Amino acid sequence: MVGDHMRLLVTGGAGYIGSHTVIELIGAGHDVVILDNLSNSHTVVIDRISEISGTRPTLVVGDIGDAELVDSLLSEHSPEAVVHFAGLKAVGESVAQPLRYYRNNVAGTISLLERLDAHDIRTLVFSSSATVYGEPESLPITEDAPVWSVNPYGETKVQIEHILSDLAVSDDRWRFAALRYFNPVGAHPSGRIGEDPPDIPNNLMPYITQVAVGALDRVMVFGDDYDTPDGTGVRDYIHVVDLARGHVAAIDALGDRSGFHAWNLGTGVGTSVLELINTFRSVNEVDIPYEITPRRPGDTAASYTDPAKAERDLGWKAQHDVADMCRHSWRWQSRNPTGYRG
Ligand code: NAD
Ligand code: UD1
């Protein structure tokens, strides 16, 4: 049964968003077991989670697609619900290696769902993405906008959402939340956990923090000729701690809802590339050299949510502004200049 304090399985819980969410779940009184193959994370994260939360979550190192391992984990820990972060997430890599993305994300999720079904566990919160809105036709984006994708990574999110929705139709005991994240940035205010990309970052905020720490020369601003107020791309940046709290709210909300539900998680505020760079500079008092370069293929001019549905159904609203996101991203990066490898 879905209740107040639950035993939860968190797949991908050692990753960037997963680790912040585990802290909020523990804070809300839940017991957490993490399943992570560490393909994009480090065990030291678990030490940091325990340091911040005062509780050490159990870590099972392994793959969501390993049916035998998942079976034994479910038998041993009997979770009542799942928060499913595990997945590969680099858009460019997904274009170069589509089979790896479909195998890991889609086939991995199907295998996980089969094992959950066999163990009568039918409540799951899924990490979806605003990428499922493709190139949005109108702004702000609401949950009923068409769902389609422009790259294999996005297609894995669309396909998984369809699988969850079909399953929910087939058997009304399933309870699914697809949380469509806008642009998660920031870090835990303690400065102990944060985003740690393995290579040169693809995303804007980790690129800015690497420039700030001196690891990279300057930010390439991908285009200043978009139809936006200053010509640079506009996105709905959301603090990762707010996003993490959205998962706690979604688990609660599934307590009295069956079926498949999609919720956008964002602030509703659009911020341009130059606004983000300038806010980072002013709140942290560090210089961020930048250069305007051509547009990045596949980018849209602007993307931001209408946060009303999440606020109404989940009783959740983002609390942090862009200045907090910049402050906390810098605190994490400046105290951990080489991330978890330091
Ligand atoms: P992350 O790479 O930091 O975390 C993902 C975690 O899953 C990692 O710890 C990785 O080791 C693990 N993992 C990957 N494949 C696995 C598998 N087959 N079995 C077990 N563990 C596996 O990424 P993140 O930024 O924390 O993203 C978490 C989820 O949110 C992903 O599904 C991602 O697609 C989605 N998402 C992220 C963003 C973003 O901007 N970060 C935006 C929208 C959606
Ligand atoms: C990207 C992915 C999206 C994914 C999301 C979270 C693409 C096309 N989209 O979203 O599928 O869900 O990350 O992982 O990759 N920018 C620069 N310079 C940079 C990096 C980015 O100017 O070095 C600009 C971009 O043009 C965009 C904004 O900054 O306007 C944000 O970019 P980014 O952080 O990569 O996120 P998205 O492109 O929104």
290 catalytic, yes or no?
no
At 31, list the tokens: 């017991």
Distance CA 306, CA 42 (A): 35
CATH of the domain at 129: 3.40.50.720
Domain extent for 67: 7-185+237-266+306-312
Distance CA 254, CA 261 (A): 9
pLDDT confidence of residue 228: 97
Neighbouring residues of 10: CB distance < 8 A, sequence distance ≥ 6: 18, 21, 22, 25, 32, 33, 34, 35, 57, 82, 83, 85
Report the chain (342 residues): mean pLDDT per 10 consecutive residues. 80 98 98 98 98 98 98 98 98 96 98 98 98 95 96 97 98 98 98 96 97 97 98 98 98 97 98 98 98 95 98 98 98 97 80
pLDDT confidence of residue 1: 43
In a domain, 61, yes or no: yes
User: Which one of 11, 40, 109, 183 would you pick to mutate in the ligand 1 pocket, going by the greatest count of ligand atoms within 8 A of its CB?
Assistant: 40
In a domain, 222, yes or no: no
Is the shortest distance between the CB of 273 and ligand 2 below 6 Å? yes
pLDDT confidence of residue 4: 77
In a domain, 59, yes or no: yes
Bond into 140 cis (ω within 30):
yes
Please state the pTM of the whole predicted model: 0.98
In a domain, 261, yes or no: yes
Nearest ligand 2 atom to the CA of 298 is 8
In a domain, 296, yes or no: no
In a domain, 82, yes or no: yes
Is the shortest distance between the CB of 296 and ligand 2 below 6 Å? yes
Is the shortest distance between the CB of 87 and ligand 2 below 6 Å? no
In a domain, 63, yes or no: yes
Tell me which of 16, 101, 133, 153 is the catalytic residue: 153
In a domain, 196, yes or no: no
Is the shortest distance between the CB of 91 and ligand 2 below 6 Å? yes
> How far from 136 is each of 98, 182, 189, CA to CA, in Å?
23, 13, 33
At 32, list the tokens: 């957490």
Total tally of structural domains belonging to the chain: 1
Query: What DSSP string describes 265-287?
Result: ES-S--EEHHHHHHHHHHHHT--
Nearest ligand 1 atom to the CA of 105 is 18
Is the shortest distance between the CB of 180 and ligand 2 below 6 Å? no
Residue located nearest, by CA, to atom 34 of ligand 1: 89
Q: Which of 41, 19, 38, 48 is nearest to 241 (CA)?
A: 19
Measured from the alpha carbon of residue 204, the closest ligand is 2
Is the shortest distance between the CB of 183 and ligand 2 below 6 Å? yes
209 in Cβ contact with 329 (< 8 Å): yes
